[in-house]
Amino acid sequence: MLNQREILETLSMIDNQHLDIRTITMGISLRDCAHPDAEICARKMYDKITRYAENLVKTGEDLEKEMGIPIINKRISVTPIAIAAESCETEDYSVFARAMDAAAKQCGVNFIGGFSALVQKGFTIGDRRLINSIPEALATTDFVCSSVNVGSTRAGINMDAVKLMGQIIKKTAHITRDNDGFGCAKLVVFCNAVEDNPFMAGAFHGVGEPECAINVGVSGPGVVYNALKGVKGESFDVVAETIKKTAFKITRMGQLMASEASKRLGAEFGIVDLSLAPTPATGDSVARILEEIGVEVCGTHGTTAALAMLNDAVKKGGVMASSHVGGLSGAFIPVSEDEGMIAAAEKGVLTLDKLEAMTCVCSVGLDMIAVPGDTTAETISAIIADEAAIGMINNKTTAVRIIPAPGKTVGDSIEMGGLLGTAPVMPVHNEGSADFINRGGRIPAPLNSLKN
């Protein structure tokens, strides 16, 4: 029999420390949905998604009840639409976004990812069509998420794509201006995008993935925070060890839920993503963990080192707990989705530059950041280029999800509601980067030796 202390520890994690499964994401291949007629292609996509994911939400709810652990999100990711729809003779790919949206609503999930293109080395016809359709697609759908991979360690950075994405983000903000540019919250620009990411907005079902897979993202900043409260003043050896043990427990739970879910849904068990994913709820914040480790406010000197240690310890603890680890696997630092990050940004301690440094040592990148509405497309492109360079050189995933909030300026904030939270508008440098961005072309792939 389990001892009482262990049982109560688990219950306390669930009840008081926000332990939950952040997402169960079903990846579905749409590679067999190609058809020259866009309407038929979109219908095939809708039919396939609704057929495979028919029981996703119900299975998730059953598991929640049986295990007594909340599963916050049930989601779907699909083959990048630029690939799945490339044979269609249409310029406007938003028709596929609407088919995805309808399928998501039919299945009862709250996000569907994969309105995506992978252009790290160059554009195909379908890639260009998809990227140009992003603003319309995000404005006319509720649940569709979009991502574009503009660089990789092996290919370098496609600076033409970086330039284009700056313009697309501005355009998306403009046509969703009545909602503070909300469309941009569903759009991620990646370097080294992963194929099995269960987290939105960047999830898509990569070309190397099986027909249908279940990927699970665990959560748990609150649990780590609580565990660290018990080791105040101890050395980093103790801190790292405590985080590892906690991450192990959290991940074991994720592994169990993932394997049960995939068995019941007849899908392959893909991966468990070992990420610490915060929510705007008090006590579920990555920033507060860093502050518990000892920095007064997240963003001050020492933050990067604390985050590096946290990120590494989470992985070390989690990796033994799961049979397959993948996805983004690291601590997330989305500003608007993390109560402590919001507070630190509002104080002016957490800046874009510090966040950029933090992204060197954790997953994923500049995430859910609102900047003034008059930020130029070139400046946004330059922010993307900086972030992509960090990913390219360090052989890791980096991303930018940035919202140039129309009509807003530093001191304002935008409300996105739910898990997306509140984003204080953060200042950007006013000096331009237009000449840099207008060069275009590609930044060559980096050397992988002589690392200094």
Partner 1 sequence: MNAVITVVGKDKVGIMAGVCVELHKLNVNILDISQTVLHNDIFTMNMLVDISKANVEYDKIVDSLSACGENLGVSIRIQREEIFDAMHKI
Residues of this chain that bind partner 1 (CB under 8 A): 1-4, 6-11, 62, 65-69, 249, 252-253, 255-256
3 state SS for 159-211: HHHHHHHHHHHHHHHHHCHHHCCHHHHHEEEEECCCCCCCCCCCCCCCCCCCC
**CB of 242: closest distance to partner 1 in angstroms?**
16
Nearer to partner 1, 5 or 301 (CB): 5
Nearer to partner 1, 2 or 447 (CB): 2
Region at 320 (left for phi over 0; alpha for psi -120 to 50; beta for the rest): alpha
Nearer to partner 1, 66 or 178 (CB): 66
**CB of 4: closest distance to partner 1 in angstroms?**
5
Nearer to partner 1, 171 or 249 (CB): 249
Nearer to partner 1, 313 or 400 (CB): 313
Nearer to partner 1, 10 or 50 (CB): 10
**CB of 260: closest distance to partner 1 in angstroms?**
8
Question: What type of residue is 238?
Answer: V
**CB of 107: closest distance to partner 1 in angstroms?**
21
Q: DSSP state, 426?
A: P
Check: CB of residue 75 under 8 Å from CB of residue 198: yes
Q: What is the dihedral of CA 320, 322, 325, 327, to 10 degrees?
A: -130
Nearer to partner 1, 83 or 256 (CB): 256
Nearer to partner 1, 41 or 69 (CB): 69
Nearer to partner 1, 82 or 253 (CB): 253
Long-range contacts of 45-51 (CB under 8 A, 24+ apart): 45/78, 45/84, 45/96, 45/99, 45/100, 45/103, 46/99, 46/100, 46/102, 46/103, 46/106, 49/76, 49/78, 49/100, 49/103, 49/104, 49/107, 49/112, 50/103, 50/106, 50/107
Nearer to partner 1, 163 or 249 (CB): 249
**CB of 142: closest distance to partner 1 in angstroms?**
29
Question: What type of residue is 118?
Answer: L
Q: DSSP state, 446?
A: P
**CB of 251: closest distance to partner 1 in angstroms?**
9
Please return the burial class of 439, using the count of CB atoms within 10 Å of its CB with bins 0-12, 13-18 and 19+: exposed
**CB of 231: closest distance to partner 1 in angstroms?**
20
CA distance 130 to 147: 10
**CB of 452: closest distance to partner 1 in angstroms?**
40
Please return the burial class of 77, using the count of CB atoms within 10 Å of its CB with bins 0-12, 13-18 and 19+: buried
CA distance 441 to 446: 15
**CB of 174: closest distance to partner 1 in angstroms?**
47
Q: What is the dihedral of CA 292, 293, 299, 304, to 10 degrees?
A: -150
**CB of 247: closest distance to partner 1 in angstroms?**
12
**CB of 65: closest distance to partner 1 in angstroms?**
6
**CB of 62: closest distance to partner 1 in angstroms?**
7
Q: What is the dihedral of CA 168, 171, 175, 176, to 10 degrees?
A: 60
Instruction: Write the CA distances from 141 to 74, 77, 145, 293, integer angstroms.
Output: 18, 15, 9, 41
The b-or-e profile of 390-419 (16+ CB within 10 A means b, else e) is bbbbbebbbbbbbbbbbebeeeebbebeeb
Nearer to partner 1, 1 or 447 (CB): 1
Nearer to partner 1, 260 or 346 (CB): 260
Q: Which of 6, 20, 79 is nearest to 45 (CA)?
A: 79
